[in-house]
Amino acid sequence: MGKFDELKKEVYEANMQLPELGLVLFTFGNASAVDREQGVFAIKPSGVPYNILKPEDIVVLDFENNVIEGSMRPSSDTKTHAVLYKHWEQIGGIVHTHSTYATAWAQSQMDIPIMGTTHADHLTEDVPCAPPMSDEMIRGDYEHQTGFQIMDIFAEKGISYEEVPMVLVGNHAPFTWGKDVKKAVYHSAVLEEVAKMAYLALQINPDAPRLKDSLIRKHYERKHGDGSYYGQE
């Protein structure tokens, strides 16, 4: 058994969940996972359709984007993943998709407002949308700069990546993360659903109010707070 086989299997399985959940079409997305003890992460190869993807196709790299194992070219978004892993040390997995509703909000360059309790079950903030990067950044190391584009909006808004595990990149699409890649996939599905719910709510009533603070806090705390009582654990 190879040194990175378990990591590659984990990443393969996460990537295969994306089309099953309706979050990707053709090759529109990628998932990765990190092994911090070995200082590497594994990611889907670029442009390989999910229906022919195999565990052995997964590419392993260090945080400087040097390929450690794998014969295929890694995802074109690899440098973005590397930046986030390098600077946000509590992340264990990252997912990037072009899921329809979340991407529509990103293309609109709008935060997703917290409209209902489904959103509040997972985070207490609007889902932030990072503004499009400058022409200079686009002409430079684009995918590398996308990582900083994401980190900059969190710094600007004063929010924590551990409390808000998702972002929209303006004119582009969503990224999500979590303690491991399974959680990152979960957050990607949640993001698509709350994006859809917010869109539909505002279609039904363009003046629909944001969820009030007491309900935001109640729903978040009952699931994540010190006295949480959601689930069986």
Catalytic residues, by residue number, are: 121, 230
Query: Angle formed by the axes of helices 142-157 and 78-87, to 10°?
Result: 40
Q: How many CB atoms lie within 10 A of CB 139?
A: 10
Q: What share of the chain is helix, strand, coil (3-state, %, to 5)?
A: 45, 15, 40
Stated as kind and residue range, the H or E segment containing 218 is helix 213-224
Please tell me the distance from the alpha carbon of residue 90 to that of residue 217, in angstroms, as a whole number: 24
Closest among 108, 113, 130 to 194, alpha carbons compared: 113
CA 138 to chain centre: 21
